[in-house]
Amino acid sequence: MAHATTHAPETRQGPKIPVLEREKLILNGRSYHWITDRICSVVENKQPAIWWLLFIPSALIALIGVVGGLSILVSTGVGVWGMTNTVFWGWDITNFVFWIGIGHAGTLISAILFLTRQNWRTSINRAAEAMTIFAVCCAGIFPAFHVGRVWFAWFLAPVPNANAVWQNFKSPLLWDVFAVSTYFTISLIFWYLGMVPDLATIRDRCKPGLRKLLYGIFSLGWRGGNRQWSHYEMAYLLLAALSTPLVLSVHSVVSFDFATSVVPGWHTTIFPPYFVAGAIFGGFAMVLTIMIPARYIYGLQDMITMKHIDNMAKIILMTGTIVGYAYLMELFVAFYSGAMYEAAAFKYRLTGPFWWAYVAMMSCNVLSPQIFWFKWCRENLWVVMGVCMCVNVGMWFERFVIICTTLARMFLPADWGYYTASPVEIMLFLGTIGMFLALFLLFLRFLPCINIAEVKWTLLESDPHFDDHHDHPDHGVKREAAYQHELKSAHKA
């Protein structure tokens, strides 16, 4: 007689080990289908009224500022940029370094966080990469046009020419050309490659017509086969590895423009790490500045969670502290070195006619991020936006202090003066802000702003061992839910 055997569920006696679960990067148990629908709907649906309210003024400011300002410059001459002032190109080089710094965080989020397998990057990397491209475009305007005759800007490239004139390869300005152009090229390829699977998704959802044709062309015939995914992942990994040193090199090279000179206040070895930390600091602040409104407008709260914002706020806090340390070390070295001119340069920064710029820089860059030590500040979006706006302003003032304040007090007192930007300079700077916002809004309108494929990889269902964990739970552990701001709020409600 056969006896039926039953197996009792496996249990474990004794104390269980508490295990803290990871915070969820996708909230409310969203499915693959929901993620695809929500991200594609940003491109497929009509844009909300606020998009037009932001885009039209931005485009007008860009048109008037950039096109108008450059038209005046080319037709009149570079004298309209303050060339008659002792602080040559002060405002424009300030803007160039500012925009290059803004473009730093995109590649950092894409490359370094990808190589270190930080899954929280997946919801923000696409927008950050786009920000990099647009910021470098804004930055490139200033050095391209400051040569005076922009149609001769190609002389900066080391190619044979009829005059047998070669560039000065010992000049850090030429290093800038190589560093920035390489950075822009690799960032553009990296950004585009990451979008190919998502462009194919939109193509497959489009009705026959011009949109389907264009998305089909730019998706490069992607079908999502195993071989294509294998090649894609390898290419993405190699580009990430190639981009990583560029994150460090670009702003280091930009800092060499100043550090290799003999100007007091610039000739210092702390500049490369100081500039890189500052660029990451300002770049993350700009990412939050543009992504928090986009998150609200398009209802992306389930994919760009408070966990993402919290992580970026912590990075801003860390890099802001590094920048503050660099400011203090500059003052200490100027005092401790015994160099008369070096000490005088920093004395004039603190007590000279531009003392207000130094105060603004220290307040915005050093003091304002310190409130991120408190959790409730990182969980309040108004506070986060306020701090990020302060950092954006503070980083511009940092470049102004380094460049304009120093040049306004050079070796000869006869050269001393008070620098004020010309109307054309102000017009062009405002124009680049409008251009940056207009390009970013167009990006939201026509391209997927979140990486659809990579976000899905963060779901629990994407774990190949998900079923194993479910069918064979570990009875020796006691899982405890991690603190998460949104879940706490939902529980209270």
Query: Could you tell me if 91 and 425 are in contact, meaning their C-beta atoms sit under 8 angstroms apart?
Result: yes
What is the mean pLDDT of each successive set of 10 residues along the chain, which is 493 residues long? 46 70 81 91 91 94 92 87 75 88 77 84 88 90 83 80 79 82 88 93 90 93 91 91 82 84 86 87 91 91 90 93 93 89 89 92 94 92 94 92 87 82 90 95 93 85 70 73 68 51
| Cα gap 364→382, rounded to integer Å | 16
Task: Say what the pLDDT of residue 1 is.
Answer: 40
Which tokens hold the place of 126? 């696409």
Q: What is the dihedral of CA 194, 200, 201, 206, to 10 degrees?
A: 140
The pTM of this model reads 0.88
Backbone angles phi, psi at 18, to 5 degrees: -70, 130
pLDDT at 317: 95
| CA nearest to 138, candidates 435, 438, 443 | 435
- Residue 119, amino acid: N
At residue 125, the pLDDT reads 87
* Contact assessment for residue 69 and residue 427, using Cβ atoms and an 8 Å cutoff: yes
Give the per-residue pLDDT at 11.
54
Gyration radius of the chain's alpha carbons: 26
pLDDT value at residue 488: 62
Measured distance CA(227)–CA(374) in Å, rounded:
48
